[in-house]
Chains A and B, each alone.
Chain A
Amino acid sequence: MSTIWNDRAGTPHIGRPQVRPRYPAPSFARSVWLVATREIMARLRSKAFLISTGILLLISVGSVVAGSIASQNLTMPKVAVVGSAAQVVEQTESFTMVKADDIGAAESLVRDGTVSAAVVPSTRADALLGVRVIALDSPPVGVLAALSVTPAVSLLEPTSRQSGGLVYLVSLGFGLVFFMSAITFGSTIAQSVVEEKQTRVVEILMTTIPVRALLGGKVVGNSIMAFGQIVAIGLLVAIGMATTGQFGLLGTVGPSIVWFAVFFAFGFVMLAALFAATASMVSRQEDVGSATSPVLFLVMIPYFLVIFFNDNPTVLAVMSYIPFSAPVGMPMRIFLGTAAWWEPLLSLAILLASTAVVILLGSRIYSNSLLRMGARVTLRQALRG
């Protein structure tokens, strides 16, 4: 300690007494990777993240299992039959038959709700099938459809080979998973950007590594986590379908799930860059929500569109090419079988190009906003620098 008190003013300076060790600066990729690893570790240590991921995985497995139970319990409607009408009903193989002794007994079964309708022999000359249907208060559409004779139909422009209910479920699944993952990891990346700004650690980071490496690391780290979550959900759904014996469904949904993962990987990188850039314009956690809300809309719009318009081929076709909605729109069209083989590739190329542009713009906004504390940085300031 005594050296401090000495008056060293007169000491002549003679070069450097000792050569300090020199550490080569890490490469750009190495810096990105170091930042990404820290982001991942921070996520894995957050209880909130682990719990929300667990819930999301449980929901996806649960929905597969619930679907399988529902399809197994699907029971055929009960129909009361009298006498010779039994043969007609049997041919349809669509009903559980309850034999009634006479028309009166059948009518009372209909009245007390045991059966949804009764089919009784008809002696009238205009009864083509030789049967008459008795129902409570309205014509039983399902029963009539099963009993009626329909001519063969050929569709000139078939829209889908999938059934309506399944289409709805799959669109809901893609929409929800995209929406949830994008929001979760998007807001995570936004918060971590503002955390660095708010705690001022960013000034040390900026003097240590290039700003682009910092942004790159955050985007890469969070994208890996988001993609990992998507792959985990996809695998769990596939395993769930396989173990509950829904191989048919797995065959029809499988390819679109794989495409979904591919589109998501790149789509999320773009969203992550946008979240980081918009968040960097504010200095406090309280302002993150309002700053990133435009990006949130970009994520929510495809979610609602795919749920409301999953039966509208034009809307889906447009969605499948717009970069923000392509991760939902294109897998949906692949699932429906309405996309030609080259369409996902073209859409992917558009997505990649726009991701590159967004990253360039985003890193510009990010670098220009990081050191501006206090009031929110306007977009013009952020772009101009």
Chain B
Amino acid sequence: MLDIRTINKRYGTRQVLTDVSFGVESGRLTGFVGANGAGKTTTMRIILGVLSADSGTVLQDGVPLTSDDRRRFGYMPEERGLYPKMKVGEHLVYLARLHGLGPASARRNTAELLDRLGLGERAGDLVQSLSLGNQQRAQIAAALVHDPEFLVLDEPFSGLDPLAVEVVMSVLSGFAAQGAPVLFSSHQLDIVERLCDDVVIIADGEIRANGPRERLREQHSSPRFELRTAADAEWIHTVPGISVLDLSGGVAVFEAETDAASQSVLRQALTRAPVTQFSQQRPSLATIFKEIVQ
């Protein structure tokens, strides 16, 4: 469990982070969402200790992070980069050894990881000879090669083709499943929606929302329901406390003033015809994001 507590950061006269606080839970994928310049990269750099905060602390299991702790982190910076003239395999072994792995385990981890990411056959190629997508995979491998206890990835999905996105998603979920906290930022809200357990939304250097994805969706749900029944649902206009937004045959979209009103619609529907669907409409992450940020 990682705790980011009231981080403030100022560049010159510009306040880039204001009292940023959130938690990253072990074994869960946390998506970090925000517009360009909202403060995602700065926050991640502060977590990794590459930048120092003006105030605030980062705690791991309640204890402030030291540089030794951070060495067990896996980090994929926003600005990608590996040595262009090094072989992919050697590069990963080098990074693993800098993290303290012995030669044998460094080579083993490298081989396993390259295979998982579909780069097994490119281990002997120079980094600069890889396609952009493959360089991106190698970059992800660089963040994972030392079996990190905690993963911080800045935009791990940008520049990946759909196939590679699936591969990286499965690698990240696998990592979280082993108990490591994973924090990653992304512009691709659909990916965050599919992948993340928790979501943190940042705008203008302030955390606007943060918590389990589903709770967030519930909090931002409107009192809007959808009903699908086998028979015509004209009767729904007569239910008190209900305003119908759309009705065509057995499909109705309506807003309910109270929970009791929506439940009475369901009860009446069941007495008239088989109900195939009755649901509260939940907003997508993209909708919530727009709503929160604006």
Interface residues of A (CB under 8 A from B): 1, 3-5, 7-11, 13, 15-26, 31, 34-35, 38, 42, 45, 195-196, 198-210, 371, 373
Contact = CB atoms under 8 A, between A and B. Distances in A.
Given A4-B170, A4-B173, A203-B50, A22 B179 contact: no
Nearest to B29: A8
In which size bucket is the chain B interface? 35 or more
Contacts of B101: 23
29 contacts: A3-B177, A4-B173, A7-B214, A8-B197, A9-B215, A13-B25, A16-B27, A16-B179, A17-B177, A17-B178, A20-B149, A20-B178, A23-B72, A25-B72, A25-B100, A26-B97, A31-B98, A34-B97, A42-B86, A195-B84, A198-B81, A199-B83, A200-B81, A204-B75, A204-B95, A204-B143, A207-B49, A209-B71, A371-B50
B101 to A, nearest CB: 5
B73 interface: yes
Contacts of A206: 50
B130 interface: no
Contacts of B170: 1, 4
Given A13-B28, A207-B50, A208-B98, A20 B180 contact: yes
B100 A17 contact: no
A23 B147 contact: yes
Contacts of B148: 20
Contacts of B213: 9
A206 B81 CA distance: 13
A16 B175 CA distance: 12
B187 interface: no
A17 B81 CA distance: 33
A209 B98 CA distance: 7
Given A4-B173, A200-B79, A201-B83, A207 B70 contact: yes
Contact of A23 (B80, B100, B173, B180): B100
Given A10-B214, A31-B98, A207-B73, A21 B147 contact: yes
Given A23-B105, A207-B70, 20 more contacts: A9-B213, A9-B214, A15-B26, A17-B177, A18-B179, A20-B179, A24-B100, A25-B72, A26-B97, A34-B98, A35-B98, A196-B83, A198-B81, A201-B83, A204-B75, A204-B81, A204-B82, A204-B142, A207-B50, A207-B73
B26 A13 contact: yes
A313 to B, nearest CB: 48
A197 to B, nearest CB: 9
Query: Which of B51, B80, B86, B100 has the largest number of chain A CB atoms within 10 A?
Result: B100
B250 interface: no
B82 A201 contact: yes
Contact of A208 (B25, B80, B99, B214): B99
Contacts of B142: 204
B197 A22 contact: no
A31 B71 CA distance: 12
Contacts of B79: 200, 203, 373
Contacts of B38: none
B85 interface: yes
A195 B146 CA distance: 24
Interface string B134-153: 00000000110011110000
Interface in B63-114: 67-68, 70-73, 75, 77, 79-86, 94-95, 97-101, 105
